[in-house]
Structure formats: C-alpha cells, structure tokens
C-alpha cells in the first residue's frame, strides 16, 4: 500500500472498477464542492452578523455569547486559585499557584462523572461537583483558607457577568433536568453550601474555548482565538466591542472574548444542503436530537459513529465486507480514536491499525475492505477539517491581526493525524496572506480557568478603586 499525504483528498483503491465506481458515487455527498464551501463561508459570515445584531431580521444559529472577559493575562497574576473543568466524562479539580504571571505549582485530580450524574437531576450533579471539591481540598491538605475559583463549564451559556452563566442547553453526553435556564454558578454555590466546610468564592464561569484562548495568551501574547477540537467543537475570538451591535452602550471595554458556540451552526437549517443520510442517522441516535448540527458533522463524540454508519450502508448494499456486519448496527462500536488510528495507517502506507479495528469487531474482510475503510475515514475527516478551517479562516480575516496564534485543545487536534497539517493548509486557503499559527494549549480549559479567576480578581480590584 502506498502512503498518502494528509493534505490530499483521499483516493480509493479497490480491485473491481465497478465496485469502486459505485462506492465513489454513493459517498460523493461527503465531498464538499468548491461551490458548497463558498456557500458555507457566506452563510457563516451572515450568521455571525445576525448573532451580533441588535435587532436581527431572523434568529442566528450562533449564540455569539459575551464572556465578559475584556483582557488577557498580563504577567501580574499572583496567588493561589482553584479551577473546575466540567464538560466531559471526567471532571477535574485544579489547584494553581501563580507567581509573577507564571504557574509555579499545579495539582490536578480527575473524577469520573457517572452517567447517572450526567443524566440525573441537576442538583445531584452539582452536589457531586461539591463533593469532589471537598475531597480534593482534604486529600491535598488545602483546607483552612479562602479560594477564588474559576469554573469551566463547557456548554452554551448566556452570561450576565463574569460570574453568572445561564445554561442555554446541554450538549455532548449531559442532559440533567433542572439546569437549562438556571445560573450554573448559583447552582454550584448552593451545592457548596449544602456540602459545608468549604470556603470558596466562585469569581468566574467560562467556556473551555475561552479558557483555551486565555491559556494561549499566557503562552503567546499574539493569541486571539481559542478552539476546542475534541469530543465537542467550538471556537471563540477577540471582538471589538464597537462591532457588537447588540451590546452598544452597554460596555466600556474596547474588546471582549466572544464565545461563538459554533457547534450549533446550522441548527436553524442553514447547513442542510451538506447534510447526508449518515449525518441524519448519527443525529437521530444522539442524546440531544436536532441540535448541535455542526459539531455532529465531525467532532470526536460523533466521528466514530459517522464512520460506522457509512460502512453500514456500504455493507447493506453489498459493497463492504462479506460477513459479520451486524456489529455495524451498534451505536458506539467504533470510536473517533479508531478513526484516527485508521487514518494513521493511510499516512504510513500500512493497514495494521485498520485490521486491528476490524478484528476487534469480528468483521469478515479482505484487502479491498481495508482500503474502503481507509477511504471512508479519510473523506469524513477531510470534510471535518475543511469545515472547521473555513470558520477559522473567516475569523482571521475578520480580526486582521498582524499575526494570530490560534490556541487549540482537544483529542482530535492532538491525536488525529490529519487535523493539524490539513488545517494549516485550508486556513491559509481561506485567509490567504494572513499570518497565523496553530498552538496546542494543553489543558487550556483547566489552567485557563485559574488564569481567568486571576483576571476576575484584577478587574474587581480595579473597579473598586
Ligand atoms: C459545547 C461548547 C463547548 C464544546 C467543546 C460543545 O458541545 O456546547 O460550549 O465549547 O462542546 O467542549
């Protein structure tokens, strides 16, 4: 097998030309044409405009939420902070000691969030978080002092201030009744009180993209965009307040971070022209059907199932694998990590990882089936990179900074071999001549929350002077 480049549109090698032609035709809706790409570009710009408008003529699918973070770390950060990071199946509690703007010491503990907490009553979820904090404080012998805390809550929120975040909807694997429409900080504070014995002041609530941008700015002052490419997907950027029509007169600051919540791009139907039967299938099996359209086109929570759904269709039509295909009906049988590994095979010119995935599923396959899987993983990933890069390029053009560092965190960016190289290419194509670099801001959502707690303290001190 010949190694391919992550920059190339995948090609399909199958011995039977008729079968090859049939597969290529069947899967062609997954390849975005230049015309479709241009249309996505124009629609995203328009949805941003609507999301920032004071009186939009129709509702945007983009929240364009105010994060109330008007400035970034400036090197004066000092002191001890706590941070929480909730968004996936692992909740993290973090202690950070900052000295002259640098992290001097950090302690991180992970707590698994069981599904009954992710899907059960909201109050119980927040009680669980408070228990974890109490456990952390005790285990790490941090009792007896007051901590200011930054809370990364990686869900769409409407913020009323830096420490008030009203949940708009759950996403990913959470759906706890009683939280939508409520302030997550209030719910956390109530749970902390119920827990007792904790002296904590929640000073900031933020999204994980925002934390990533803040962490990116700590690493590189030129950072003006944050992105998560993991289980979910989202982006944020620094906007000039004068361009935010809906806040005119309400803010004295000149710039603020906007959490776009681009995972929901297309929830109003504007992206339906690229939607395929496999996107419908994945959406229909998801926890929150008919929401987070854009995220479901490629994010880590969905990529494995998309891949599986495409293979299932090919199998049912007699174009893939001669046996064992029932497993392809099982939701979750293939993960995004499997897809990443299969993609690595393509770039190495081998099929080892792909075989391991197939063997694990007990599929009956031959060489052609392996090549088909490589092709499917390739075109799905390629589509995902293209989508996320289009949006990133548009933001670079909008900000027009001399150079923009884009801070990114998440498993897809870290481990999927196509994302980083192809993003570099596609973002340059979308924003030609713009200088940028992609920087992994590892643990941006955790460390960024500690940094944001420190920014909150600075803002508070200044306003009370
Ligand atoms: C959430 C975003 C978050 C993203 C990445 C999405 O499902 O709505 O708020 O930033 O996942 O974690």
Ligand 1: residue whose CA is nearest its atom 6 = 232
Q: How far is the CA of 26 from the centre of ligand 1 (A)?
A: 32
Ligand 1: residue whose CA is nearest its atom 9 = 155
**pTM for this one?**
0.96
Q: How many CA within 13 A on the CB side of residue 340?
A: 17
Give Cβ neighbours of residue 38 (< 8 Å, ≥ 6 apart).
Answer: none
Q: Is 87 in the pocket of ligand 1 (CB under 6 A)?
A: yes
Q: How far is the CA of 27 from the centre of ligand 1 (A)?
A: 28
Of 169-173, 246-250, 376-380, the poorest mean pLDDT is in 246-250
Q: For residue range 83-102, what is the model confidence (pLDDT) as tens digits?
A: 999 999 999 999 999 999 99
Q: For residue range 290-347, what is the model confidence (pLDDT) as tens digits?
A: 999 999 999 999 999 999 999 999 999 999 999 999 999 999 999 999 999 999 999 9
Q: Is 156 in the pocket of ligand 1 (CB under 6 A)?
A: yes
154 is catalytic: yes
CB 77 within 8 A of CB 98: yes
Q: In this model, does residue 250 exceed pLDDT 80?
A: no
CB 238 within 8 A of CB 222: no
Q: How confident is the model at residue 463 (pLDDT cuts 50, 70, 90)?
A: confident
Please state the atom number of ligand 1 nearest to the C-alpha of residue 264: 8
- Give me the residue label for tokens 């990114």: 408
Q: Is the backbone of residue 151 left (phi > 0), alpha (psi -120 to 50) or beta?
A: beta
Mean pLDDT of 7-25: 97
CB 447 within 8 A of CB 215: yes
Listed residue (206, 152, 153, 210) closest to 179, CA to CA: 153
Q: In this model, does residue 438 exceed pLDDT 80?
A: yes
Dist CA 413 CA 50 (whole Å): 29
Dist CA 266 CA 62 (whole Å): 8
DSSP H or E run through 204: strand 200-206
pLDDT, residue 249, reads 63
Count CB-CB contacts under 10 A for residue 317.
Answer: 11
- CA distance between the termini of the chain: 68
435 is catalytic: no
CB 64 within 8 A of CB 52: yes
Q: What value does the mean pLDDT of the chain take?
A: 97
Q: For residue range 108-149, what is the model confidence (pLDDT) as tens digits?
A: 999 999 999 999 999 999 999 999 999 999 999 999 999 999
- Give me the residue label for tokens 């971070």: 257
Q: How far is the CA of 64 from the centre of ligand 1 (A)?
A: 13
Mean pLDDT of 11-29: 98
- Probe ligand 1: pick from 295, 296, 411, max atoms within 8 Å of CB? 295
pLDDT cut 70: percent of the chain above it: 99
Q: For residue range 277-299, what is the model confidence (pLDDT) as tens digits?
A: 999 999 999 999 999 999 999 99
DSSP H or E run through 98: strand 90-99
- Give me the residue label for tokens 């994945």: 282
CB 373 within 8 A of CB 339: no
Dist CA 199 CA 189 (whole Å): 11
CB 321 within 8 A of CB 337: no
Burial class (CB in 10 A: 0-12, 13-18, 19+), 144: exposed
Q: Is 286 in the pocket of ligand 1 (CB under 6 A)?
A: no
Q: How far is the CA of 261 from the centre of ligand 1 (A)?
A: 7
Specify the pairing of strand 90-99 against strand 102-112: antiparallel
The length of the chain is 465
- Which residue among 20, 92, 418, 434 is the active-site one? 92
- Give me the residue label for tokens 């707590």: 111
Dist CA 9 CA 170 (whole Å): 34
Which pair of tokens denotes residue 395? 């933001």
286 is catalytic: no
pLDDT, residue 110, reads 97
All structural domains of the chain, each given as residue ranges with its CATH number in brackets, are 79-218+443-459 (3.30.420.40)
- Which residue among 61, 154, 392, 445 is the active-site one? 154
Q: In this model, does residue 64 exceed pLDDT 80?
A: yes
Q: In this model, does residue 414 exceed pLDDT 80?
A: yes
Dist CA 414 CA 154 (whole Å): 19
Count CB-CB contacts under 10 A for residue 257.
Answer: 27
Count CB-CB contacts under 10 A for residue 234.
Answer: 32
Listed residue (69, 68, 72, 46) closest to 59, CA to CA: 46
């Amino acid at each position: 097998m010949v190694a391919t480049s992550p920059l190339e549109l995948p090609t399909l090698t199958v011995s039977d030309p008729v079968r090859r032609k049939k597969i290529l035709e069947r899967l062609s809706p997954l390849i975005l044409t230049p015309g479709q790409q241009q249309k996505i570009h124009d629609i995203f710009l328009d949805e941003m405009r609507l999301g920032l408008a004071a009186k939009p003529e129709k509702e945007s699918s983009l929240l364009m939420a105010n994060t109330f973070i008007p400035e970034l770390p400036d090197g004066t950060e000092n002191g001890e902070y706590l941070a929480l990071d909730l968004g996936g199946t692992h909740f993290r509690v973090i202690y950070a000691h900052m000295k002259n703007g640098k992290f001097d010491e950090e302690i991180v503990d992970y707590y698994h969030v069981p599904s009954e907490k992710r899907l059960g009553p909201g109050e119980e979820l927040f009680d669980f978080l408070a228990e974890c904090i109490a456990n952390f404080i005790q285990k790490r012998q941090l009792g007896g002092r007051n901590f200011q805390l930054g809370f990364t809550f990686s869900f769409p929120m409407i913020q009323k201030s830096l420490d008030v975040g009203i949940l708009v909807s759950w996403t990913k694997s959470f759906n706890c009744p009683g939280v939508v429409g409520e302030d997550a900080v209030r719910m956390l504070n109530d749970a902390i009180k119920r827990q007792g014995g904790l002296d904590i002041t929640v000073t900031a609530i933020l999204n994980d993209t925002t934390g990533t941008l803040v962490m990116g700015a700590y690493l590189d002052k030129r950072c003006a965009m944050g992105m998560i490419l993991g289980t979910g997907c989202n982006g944020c950027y620094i906007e000039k307040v004068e361009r935010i029509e809906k806040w005119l007169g309400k803010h004295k600051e000149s710039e603020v971070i906007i959490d776009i919540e681009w995972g929901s791009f297309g929830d109003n139907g504007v992206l339906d022209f690229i939607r395929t039967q496999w996107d419908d299938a994945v959406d229909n099996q998801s926890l929150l059907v008919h929401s987070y359209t854009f995220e479901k086109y490629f994010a880590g929570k969905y990529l494995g199932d998309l891949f599986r759904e495409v293979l299932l269709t090919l199998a049912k039509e007699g174009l893939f694998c001669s046996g064992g295909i029932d497993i392809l009906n099982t939701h979750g049988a293939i993960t995004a990590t499997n897809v990443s590994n299969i993609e690595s095979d393509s770039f190495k010119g081998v099929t080892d990882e792909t075989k391991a995935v197939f063997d694990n599923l007990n599929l009956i396959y031959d060489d052609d089936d392996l090549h088909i899987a490589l092709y499917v993983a390739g075109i799905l990933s390629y589509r995902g990179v293209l989508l996320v890069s289009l949006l990133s390029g548009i933001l670079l053009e909008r900000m027009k900074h001399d150079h923009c560092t884009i801070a990114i965190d998440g498993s897809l960016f870290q481990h999927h071999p196509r994302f980083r190289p192809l993003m570099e290419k596609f973002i340059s194509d979308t924003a030609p001549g713009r200088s940028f670099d992609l920087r992994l801001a590892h643990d941006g959502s955790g460390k960024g929350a500690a940094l944001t707690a420190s920014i909150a303290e600075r803002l508070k001190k200044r306003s009370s002077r």
